[in-house]
Amino acid sequence: MSNPPSKTVKKQSSSSTKTKSIAFSTIIMIIGLFLSKGSGFLRDIFVSRSFTQTYREAFTAAFLIPDFFFALLVGGSIQSAITPTLSRAIEKKEDKKAWKGVSIFISWMTLVVLLFVVIGEVFSNKLYYLFNQNKSQEIVRLAGNMARTLYPQIFFMMLAALCIGILNAYKKFGSTAFGPTIYNICVLLSIFFLGGSTEDALIRTGLGIMASALIYFIFQLFMGKKEISHFRPSLDTSNSEFRQLFKLAVPILISASVVQINMLLLNSFASRFDDGPLFALRNAGTLWQLPYGIFAVGIGNVMLPSLAAHYAVKEYKKASELLSRSIKNALFLAIPCAGIFLVLRSDIVRAAFKWSADYTEENIKMASLFLVGYCLSIVTQSVIFILNQAFYAIGKTRFPLFAGIVTMIVNVGLCFIFMTLDLGPLYLTIAYSAACVVRLILLAWVYCKNKVLAPKKIRVFIVKSVICLVAMVGFLYLVELLPWVPQRKVVQLFWVGARCILGFVVYFVVAFLLKMEELTIAYQKYLGRFFRRKKKTS
């Protein structure tokens, strides 16, 4: 028996409202991540101005192990385990039951993180000597001493991440979008006012960054005080909800740490060259993670609770449509960014990081070289992140872990092979990108085995996107033939920005001619609505 017309209309209206809500939340999240990544991007500029090369390398190295601890203990386990767990429970009206398990999980996480903070404080220098045996001993000593000020921030960042994961489950994305920007601004102020080329300045800067993490947590706690009021401290490991959450979280937790392990491995290989590549590798990493961290992470984080809710109530068609839309939207923005970074790599690095004579042309050349190898990662990691979120949403957390371990093995193997062939430092990022391709193939192959949940019409989208990319890259190479190299900083920034905008314009014009739905849908939802309102008012 068919549904009455009124019920059908209500369902369509509800579906349309949810789609608009997801779109609006995605925009808010992307704006927040843009501000966060933008302010975080300024950190490298401030570091290049505040420290000479030795202290710059020490500052960069000091974050490696604290960041690894954070990724190992917190990084992906909070949002990717707690968020879908709570989202499914909220959709089924079982959130009170789920909160018992979540509370126990949070209580144990707090104790474990505190334990690792203590371990880091006690063994800091030994850990740095272990992972940087080929590095300058002075840099290793400075990094180990500064790291002692950074370990406590893991605890505050963990608490802030818990707040964000919980708020995302309740789809309060506006409350989580701007906290990282506040943290980054505080970090910038710490570097600007406390930084300098002395050991005392390094320590003071580290203390300022730790205080920034505390401010970040307090802000997120205030924004989520209503939702977090459900938390009740408990260490009852016999609770069935906790055990289920723990089984989901552990593979996610280890899988999330694979990215950081890969970065540690890349830095270890980079230390085999002179002292310069470490900061150059970080600069290239900062650049490629801008579009990935803004578009893919923003779209994926908004998708996660909704996808988990669809799966919980067996709305598989809607789940497939949401995943398809998320992948295509992320790639539609990530692909042109990869092309722009490939063509304009040296000019982008120079405009972004050369703010003083301490950042030399050799530094620019090295960072640009690394950026070439990372360009493919902008595309592959965007899809990997969203597919990982999809696996977590349906409660399948073990295979992403397996794929991550395979990636790590491939990355190390390729680094060793390329190193024996003496291909130079470029092999580091090429090996990383190649390993990401392997990971993407594994994730897509396994997820798409379930035809009901698999994303649709991806091949046609990729073909059209490649055509748009070729047109954009060709245009940018023609512009590069102009015999003009600006010397003044303001003109450099303007010229790079103008070419980036022109590149996007060419990409979008070709997409319009190819009738790509990602562009037409964006126009109808946002720009088209704006122009219609403008006509009405006139």
Cβ atoms of 146 and 128 closer than 8 Å:
no
Q: Which comes out higher in pLDDT, residue 37 or 196?
A: 196
Percent of the chain with pLDDT over 90: 43
pLDDT-based confidence at residue 275 (cuts at 50, 70, 90): low
Dihedral sign of CA atoms 426, 427, 430, 431 in order: negative
Three-class SS of residue 292? helix
111, pLDDT greater than 70:
yes
- Provide, rounded to the nearest whole percent, the portion of the chain with pLDDT above 70: 88
Predicted local confidence at residue 285, as pLDDT = 86
pLDDT of residue 282 exceeding 90, the answer is no
pLDDT at 530 over 70: no
Phi/psi at 514 (5° precision): -85, 0
DSSP string, 13-40: HHHHHHHHHHHHHHHHHHHHHHHHHHHH
Is 430 a residue whose pLDDT tops 70?
yes
- E-assigned strand segments in 155-279: none
> Exposed, middle or buried, 385 (CB in 10 Å: 0-12/13-18/19+)?
buried
**What are the tens digits of pLDDT across the range 59-91?**
988 988 898 788 777 765 666 778 888 888 888
- The pLDDT tens digits for 302-353 are 898 989 889 988 999 999 999 999 999 999 999 999 999 999 999 999 988 8
Q: Is pLDDT above 50 for 2?
A: no
Tally of CB atoms within 10 A around 64: 22
* pLDDT reported for residue 526: 47
- Summarize the confidence of residues 440-446 as an average pLDDT: 95
Of residues 536 and 359, which shows the higher confidence score?
A: 359
Q: Is the confidence at residue 529, as pLDDT, over 50? A: no
pLDDT on residue 37:
73
With a cut of 50, say whether residue 10 has pLDDT above it. Answer: no
pLDDT digits (tens, 9 = 90+) for 247-265: 888 888 777 767 667 776 7
In angstroms, the first-to-last Cα distance of the chain is 48
pLDDT of residue 8: 44
* CA 506 – CA 471 distance, rounded (Å): 7
Query: Nearest-CA neighbor of 262 among 400, 72, 58?
Result: 72
CB 249 within 8 A of CB 83: no
pLDDT in tens, 13-56: 444 445 556 666 777 777 777 777 777 778 877 887 888 888 98
Give me the mean pLDDT over the 159-169 stretch: 90
